[in-house]
Amino acid sequence: MPAGRALTDIMMWLSWLVLCPLAAAQSPESGDSAPLLARISSIVRENIDRLPNYTCTMSMDRTERVAKTGKLQMADRVRLEVAMVGEKELYSWPGSKSFRDLPVQDIAPAGSFSTGEFGIFLSAIFLSGTAEFVYDGLEELNGRKVHRFAYRIPRERSKYTVIVPQGKGIVGYEGSAWCDAQSLDLTRLEIVMREIPENLLVSGGRLSIDYARVRVGRGDFLLPQSVDSTFTFEGLESHNRTSFSGCREYAVESGISFGELPATEGPAPARAAPLSLPEGVVVESKLETKLDPARLATGDAFEATVIKASRQKSVVIAPKGARIHGHVSGVIVLPKPYACVGVMLHPDWIEFEGREGAFNAQQVLPLQPMNSPQSVDPRCPLQPDSGSALVVTEGGRVGSSTGYIVWRTVK
């Protein structure tokens, strides 16, 4: 991740509002293709209606290009868990205990994101009755015969909302949908932004979503497999390549609550009180997770083990063997003359003796460089963020390693 990234400083956030399913979309221009379109829309509706709550791992490579130079460079790699619960898309770091009902921009690092690939676009285009379709005939896509439909949703009938630091606004959009000639399953959906309000300072945006059948719970469902997106604004281009894996059924009651728990008869089962570590406790730990900056993504989980009982006034606060859990909050690459790579580690929670709780702490001693017994070269100007620890490798070498981190708890 090059230093001084212009794109992530601007922070562009793209989100789509939930759209209510209505009748299957048809248009006068579809002619004899109307029955075919109706069958495709019926398959989309059946897929959405049967789909259980589920979660997938989302991995996204973000690159950017400054229009004046034309050079495309890697910005960062982000990994999140995304859950589709009813009509809500929820996000968390991999390994988190629950999903938070927050916008993705409040969880993930600054940069461009898109949401809506899990059903909102499908409902808007195929089920809302707002799209105008034209049948473009049969063609071949990835070695398969497919039907291609062009569609358009003008701005006055759109609910596609773009959010940027300057404000937000509704845009129109158009594109194509490709459906398998035999099964009529959607295989690819293209979305191109049109009629963009001038106040957004966005000059263009395009998404291409590939779909396939995936086993979730007891059924096979049509889910996004990958998304390629490009957004252009203020002389910059953002290119994202997102893939989804590990999709599985998700029991909503185990990870998120939208209201009070229902009353139950009889006494509630006893639960261990959550851990709460006091401020100023020194915790020595050994990093158990191997870190390879070439493969790491912001959001990847890490674990560390407490190697010595942590005490405060002779009272054991965290025993030996306690487990610290957290996530990678950034991978920083500094070019020559420093040629060093830093991996930022943010602690989230700690567990021991059947209890767990938040672990808010700051690194107090530098971690030794990867693959080197020597201290970090002071010319490498990397420091841990507040509430985090830093792993550093020098000389441009990228390897994998474990190491030791000394923390001090904070408020």
Question: Which residue, 108, 111, 109, 128, is CA-closest to 119?
Answer: 128
Residue of 23 and 77 predicted with greater confidence: 77
Q: State the chain's maximal CA–CA distance in angstroms.
A: 83
Question: Which residue, 345, 348, 238, 248, is CA-closest to 296?
Answer: 345
- Same domain for 12 and 93, yes or no, is yes
Query: Is the per-residue pLDDT at 30 higher than 70?
Result: no
pLDDT band per the 50, 70, 90 thresholds, residue 268: very low
Residue 162: strand pairing partners: 14, 169
Report if pTM > 0.85.
Answer: no
Residue of 364 and 335 predicted with greater confidence: 364
- Same domain for 22 and 141, yes or no, is yes
Burial track 356-387 (b if 16+ CB lie within 10 A, e otherwise) = beebbbbbeebbbbbebeeebeeebebebeee
pLDDT band per the 50, 70, 90 thresholds, residue 111: low
Distance CA 285, CA 304 (A): 6
Structure tokens at 186: 């959607």
Question: Which residue, 238, 226, 219, is CA-closest to 162?
Answer: 238
Write the CATH number for 371.
Answer: 2.40.128
- Same domain for 17 and 84, yes or no, is yes
- Same domain for 324 and 233, yes or no, is no
Task: For residue 63, give its domain range.
Answer: 6-254
Report if residue 263 sits inside a domain.
no
- Same domain for 235 and 333, yes or no, is no
Q: Where are the alpha helices (DSSP H) in 206-257?
A: none
The reported pLDDT for the residue numbered 14 is: 36
- Same domain for 191 and 337, yes or no, is no
Among 54-58, 168-172, 184-188, the range with the most confident prediction by mean pLDDT is 184-188
Report if residue 297 sits inside a domain.
yes
Report if residue 98 sits inside a domain.
yes
The reported pLDDT for the residue numbered 235 is: 72
Report if residue 338 sits inside a domain.
yes
Give the number of domains in the chain: 2
**Boundary-marking domain end, from 214, 234, 254:** 254
Tens of pLDDT along 199-253?
A: 888 888 999 999 999 999 889 999 999 999 998 877 788 889 999 999 999 875 4
The mean pLDDT value of the chain amounts to 79
- Same domain for 326 and 202, yes or no, is no
Tens of pLDDT along 315-340?
A: 999 999 999 999 998 888 777 776 67
Cis amide leading into 337 (omega within 30): yes
Tens of pLDDT along 342-351?
A: 888 999 999 9
Report if residue 272 sits inside a domain.
no
Query: Is the per-residue pLDDT at 140 higher than 90?
Result: yes
- Same domain for 10 and 125, yes or no, is yes
**Boundary-marking domain end, from 236, 254, 272:** 254
pLDDT band per the 50, 70, 90 thresholds, residue 271: low
- Same domain for 221 and 181, yes or no, is yes
CB contact at 8 A, 120 and 112? no
Report if residue 268 sits inside a domain.
no
Structure tokens at 25: 């979309």
- Same domain for 35 and 167, yes or no, is yes
- Same domain for 51 and 195, yes or no, is yes
Report if residue 171 sits inside a domain.
yes
Report if residue 75 sits inside a domain.
yes
- Same domain for 221 and 297, yes or no, is no
